[in-house]
Amino acid sequence: MEQKTTINDIYTFFRQKKENHALILQRLKKRIYHIGTLRLVVLVVLIVTLWLLRNNDWANIIAIAGICAGCFLFLVVYHTRLHEKRAFEESLIQYFENERKALDYDFSAFDGASEHIDPQHTFSMDLDLFGNKSLFQLVNRTVTKMGKEMLINRFKQPLSDKQDIIMHQEGIREMSILSRFRHHFYVAGVEATQATQNISFLFSTDNLYLISKNRVITLLIWLVPALWTLIITGCFLQWIPANYLVYCCVLFYLIANIPFKHIRKVFTSGDKTEKILITYSKLMEQVEYEQFNASILQKYQSILKWNSASNEIKRLSRTIGALDQRFSLIGVILNLLFMRDTRQAIKLERWKQKNANHVQDWFEALGAFDVFCSFGAFAFNHPDYEYPTMTDTYFGMEGKALGHPLIHRNLCVRNDVFIPKNKHFLIITGANMAGKSTYLRTVGVNFLFACMGLPVCAESFAIYPAQLVTSLRTADSLVSNESYFFAELKRLKMIIDRLDAGEQLLIILDEILKGTNSIDKQKGSFALVKQLINKNACGIIATHDLLLGSLSEQFQDHVQNKRFEADIVGDELSFTYQLRDGIAQNMNASFLMQKMGIL
């Protein structure tokens, strides 16, 4: 029987990776030092040789200078590549250290997408989807703008089709074992995350034919170099006075800038994107050359391979790079002689004409691989998590030893959950701090991960992929002049409306109608639960109101009571955080107030 990977194995994996690449980095630094020294030696030899041979034949001097210059240029190129390798190794080492920290629940190295915190979302705020120490920060390893956006959308809108979830599970399983692919994908991408990632100009067909369809400009890009050839030949043969070159430069400068307005529009759209396009090209190339077995990974890979996306993006990056250099000295001279800016603008337009129907698919496929790398890293880092199974009928959910992935594994108390059918609610009663809210979030988070195709923090988990709706942290709004109670009512009204529309929901509520008095709250809570049952809903409701547990007498087949107890022994209060059957017996508010001297 194959031995199961443990969390200690993952710790060891990242430690060994870091140590191995630290040795590689050390060797690279030595080589960089030696090559740098050799460059200096070659330069000194060149200078000394030229000085000693200054009175010799010029042919010998030029030959020696050429050899030394060639050696020097070779060493410069080699030195640059070594520096690139060093930067890559340093990034890998930092990545391994960040992942080791993440195993200890320090996710600060990764983006939590705090800008997407949304109290109005049906479960985002309640389950801590975004922000510091959030679920998104736990999972997120994306390095592309598209990947991050796709991952955010997956958190907000998890999958609801059984076969889609199973396909994603297959892809995540495979990606979790492709460690080298994931590590190199992340490091290659993260090196450019500070660069401009606004590539929206690629998806726009505006200004597509400003230059390339202009016959006058098309004629000029061939006529200008031909005229320059004649003029320079004429000057060389002394047919044309040399001082005429000044007038020619002014004239052809004006001609080269005839399409300046159009070039500026084309140039501005892709300004400063060369670096990120080169990075995207490398990432696409890495995907194209990898061997995948999961059908969903093969599907996205085929999109990139079919049209050789990496080569096309690389070609585009060269064009953008040439446009970026248009105001350099060499750029100005080449534009004067060959109308280089116009040629590059035409190349960009023709590139968009050729690839307009593919670009969106390419970047969606790249974003999908970015997301799968995040999912694969999450699965790899949690070898004790299990992939859930999907049930076929609404509703079924059964989980053994569920834990919350954001609670330290050594402190996390695990509990079971069982909702066998629709028209079924668990009523959770218990004292303050006994674990009710944590339990609700634990079930909600694992249900969400299951619907995303991820492994879950449980020994086993079987669910039907319904739509998740929660109401755990309803807040008032000063901006909307909206009270806490009204905000909660709006949330409950949204749930009722979605049920009336025929949606299949899993509903998780914490302390219904907290914003009203006890009697009113009791009546409203009873009426709401009855309505939810009558509308074939299912879910979990936590409450301090022990009388709500009496609903199990009226709805014996549809309501089940569970509790978290505060155990009071003598003058001590303790919590087991273990879910038990029945209605809670002990409340702790008065006890705690007495202990603190408030009563």
Q: 484 and 515 in contact (C-beta within 8 Å)? A: yes
Name, in order, each residue with C-beta under 8 angstroms of 302's C-beta and a sequence gap of 6 or more.
none
Helix (H, G, I), strand (E, B) or coil at 580: strand
Please tell me the chain's helix, strand, coil percentages from 3-state DSSP, rounded to the nearest 5: 60, 10, 30
pLDDT value, residue 286 = 95
Give the count of beta carbons closer than 10 Å to the beta carbon of residue 171.
25
Q: ∠ at Cα 201 (197, 205), nearest 5°?
A: 160
Tell me the CATH class for 389-595: alpha beta
Render each residue's pLDDT in the chain as its tens digit; 599 residues: 456 889 999 999 999 999 999 999 999 999 999 988 988 888 888 788 777 776 776 777 777 778 877 888 888 888 889 998 999 999 999 999 999 999 999 999 999 999 999 988 999 999 999 999 999 999 999 999 899 999 999 999 999 999 999 999 999 999 999 999 999 999 999 876 655 556 666 666 555 555 666 677 777 778 878 887 887 787 777 777 777 777 777 777 777 776 666 666 655 555 567 788 888 999 999 999 999 999 999 999 999 998 789 999 999 888 888 777 767 777 778 777 877 877 888 888 888 888 888 888 999 999 999 999 999 999 999 999 999 999 999 989 999 999 999 999 999 999 999 999 989 999 999 877 888 999 999 999 999 999 999 999 999 999 999 999 999 875 544 344 456 677 778 888 999 999 999 999 999 999 887 656 567 777 888 889 899 999 999 999 998 878 888 888 888 889 999 999 877 666 667 788 999 999 887 665 555 555 555 54
Edge-to-edge strands, sheet with 397-402: 389-390, 460-463, 397-402, 415-419
Domain residue spans in the chain?
389-595
pLDDT in tens, 206-260: 555 556 666 777 777 788 788 878 877 877 777 777 777 777 777 777 777 766 6
What CA–CA distance (Å, rounded) separates 420 from 397? 6
